[in-house]
Structure 1
Amino acid sequence: MRDVTTGKKSSTRPFVGPTTRSSTRPRLIGVGVGPGDPELVTVKALHALAGADVVLVPATEGSGDGAGRAETIVTQACPSAAPTIQRIPFSMADRSGISGRRKQAWLDSAEAAISAFESGADVVAFATVGDPSVYSTFSYLAAHVVERLQEVEVEVIPGITAMQALAARSRTPLVEGTETLALVPITAGLEVLGRVLDTVDTVVAYKGGRHLPEVVELLRRRGRDGVLGVQIGLDDEQLVTLTDVDEGRRAPYFSTVLVPAQRSGTGGRL
């Protein structure tokens, strides 16, 4: 294991909280590293990254030969993990469905983890933007690894999600009192978003950048407003109210739309 501050191997595992269990089994850890700001990486995530023998990170078409978002967060938040990083190609060209490229990325990630374990690694971490349990490829990777190596123990370390970061940055409460909250991927269809808007108080939409004009029009027809977050937590972050979105504007895939509940006053839904 590596010390989180020095990057040197230590004989004891770093303290990561009272719920941590000791185990002699090899461990695959899905580590949520948040939306972009390295200061939003949790202490437990830092210890997991520093203690891993191999840290897998996704590399997409957008990052080219450079570091992707997850890798950038990891190296900024935990520099000692840099020598252990291994990039795994991921394609963002396929927005939905189990395409050949998408399935191959899962298999390649699993094979990288399996190869690391077979080479003697005790701990392999997979760093994922946001949270490993929210629209992350980690669950697919883990399923493939456990299918091949049943002795591997899987652990998940949660991370700050884009909707939490956007709510904080825009000072927009997600839910109050008895309000309900829904998270909708625009890839599920605008009809789905419309039905959710009609039944849920606060709605957050992911994966909708290229459909932003349609999303804005849908909200305006319902008399709803919200905030668009682009590159949350990064230097080029943008926060724009939907009423100020230019007609026809599109946004990157990793954009977030937050449509808050319609509130009549402070504490009105308590």
Structure 2
Amino acid sequence: MTATLTGVGVGPGDPELLTLRAVRVLREADVVFVPVLDRPAADGTATPGRAETTVSPHVPPDRLRRLPFALDDRGGVTVRRERAWDAAARTVTAAVDRGARALAFATIGDPNVYSTFGYLAQTVRALRPEVTVRTVPGVTAMQELAARSGIPLCEGREPLTLLPVTAGLALFADAVAGPGTVVAYKGWRRHPELLAELRRQGRLADAVLGSGLGLPGELVGPAAGTEGEPPYLSTLLVPARRRRRGGKL
């Protein structure tokens, strides 16, 4: 039998947002891998990641395996990142060599949207071309934030722009100046600059911020007044300008 590695999107954090397909694949898997930070706490323990917390109600502990990644590294492809990708891929292929045929990797959001799974899958394919790679889509943070804030992401002819702030503030500014909704990920370290740009363009009053969605202590509300540095997993949503119902059909 050919082994299959499936990247499973588990949503932004709320276990109730797992799809029926995601739950089925997780329960049927011989082993479920979850990403964790490769830097342990001061006491030497590894803190469970959001993906692990989300899937733990559906997966027995003996089938969960943690894969360390350089999740807090910044600035492109680093030696630390590459070593983590290689080590994770070797752990996956070792499970295949031991007889695992259904392998799953749980990732927050969607496995095809800014996910670590893409790097893992690419490396596993290089080591074991015979392994089949699949994905199960998941609810993204921008979808959950839109639902929680009551803001449609796009209407009529409006474009929807999703961008990482790590790509630069100029890209964000250009998108905000456009006609559609803008969603910014990975903006926690430059949050004050994002607010300043929204204020400059007269868009701050409508923007909303979501942090820790689906987790205790979550924040969903106006972006205005959130001048401090939000948590890493925060989403900024800037809705399109809409003057009347159906105005962009």
In the TM superposition, structure 1's runs of 4+ consecutive aligned residues that sit over 3 Å from their partners are 61-64
Deviation at 1:62, TM superposition (A): 8.1
Which position in structure 2 is the counterpart of 1:51? 28
TM-score (norm 2): 0.94
Distance 1:107 1:258, change over 3 A: same
d(CA) in 1 for partners of 2:243, 2:166: 32
1:43-87 per-position Cα deviation (integer Å, ceiling 9, x unaligned): 1010111111111101114875231111000103x1x44321111
Which amino acid in the other structure matches residue 238 of structure 2? V
Which position in structure 2 is the counterpart of 1:251? 230
Which position in structure 1 is the counterpart of 2:134? 155
Distance 1:257 1:93, change over 3 A: same
Which position in structure 2 is the counterpart of 1:72? 53
1:131 is aligned to 2:110: yes
Task: Give the % identical residues.
Answer: 48
Question: 2:203 touches 2:238 (CA, 8 Å); kept in 1?
Answer: yes
TM-score (norm 1): 0.86
Q: Of the two structures, which has the highest relative contact order with CA contacts closer than 8 Å and spacing of 6 or more?
A: 2
1:36 is aligned to 2:36: no
Question: 1:194 touches 1:218 (CA, 8 Å); kept in 2?
Answer: yes
Which position in structure 2 is the counterpart of 1:180? 159
Matches within 5 A, 1:188-207: 188-207=167-186
Which amino acid in the other structure matches residue 172 of structure 1? I
Structure 1 residue runs without a partner (length 5+): 1-23
Distance 1:261 1:62, change over 3 A: farther
Which amino acid in the other structure matches residue 74 of structure 1? V
1:234-270 per-position Cα deviation (integer Å, ceiling 9, x unaligned): 121101212232x4x1111111000000100222212
SS at match of 2:245: coil
Matches within 5 A, 1:61-140: 61=39, 65-76=46-57, 78=58, 80-140=59-119
Question: 2:7 touches 2:105 (CA, 8 Å); kept in 1?
Answer: yes
1:236 is aligned to 2:217: yes
Deviation at 1:143, TM superposition (A): 1.1
Question: 2:179 touches 2:241 (CA, 8 Å); kept in 1?
Answer: no
Deviation at 1:92, TM superposition (A): 2.8
SS at match of 2:224: helix
Deviation at 1:149, TM superposition (A): 1.0
d(CA) in 2 for partners of 1:53, 1:137: 21
Deviation at 1:201, TM superposition (A): 0.8
Which amino acid in the other structure matches residue 36 of structure 1? G
Deviation at 1:200, TM superposition (A): 4.4
Question: 2:149 touches 2:221 (CA, 8 Å); kept in 1?
Answer: no
Question: 2:31 touches 2:63 (CA, 8 Å); kept in 1?
Answer: yes
SS at match of 2:183: strand
d(CA) in 1 for partners of 2:40, 2:229: 17
Structure 2 residue runs without a partner (length 5+): none
Question: 2:212 touches 2:233 (CA, 8 Å); kept in 1?
Answer: yes
SS at match of 2:196: helix
1:123-158 per-position Cα deviation (integer Å, ceiling 9, x unaligned): 111110100000011111111111111111111000
SS at match of 1:46: helix
Distance 1:238 1:62, change over 3 A: farther
1:221 is aligned to 2:188: no
d(CA) in 2 for partners of 1:258, 1:43: 27
Deviation at 1:91, TM superposition (A): 2.0
Deviation at 1:95, TM superposition (A): 2.1
Count of residues paired in the alignment: 243
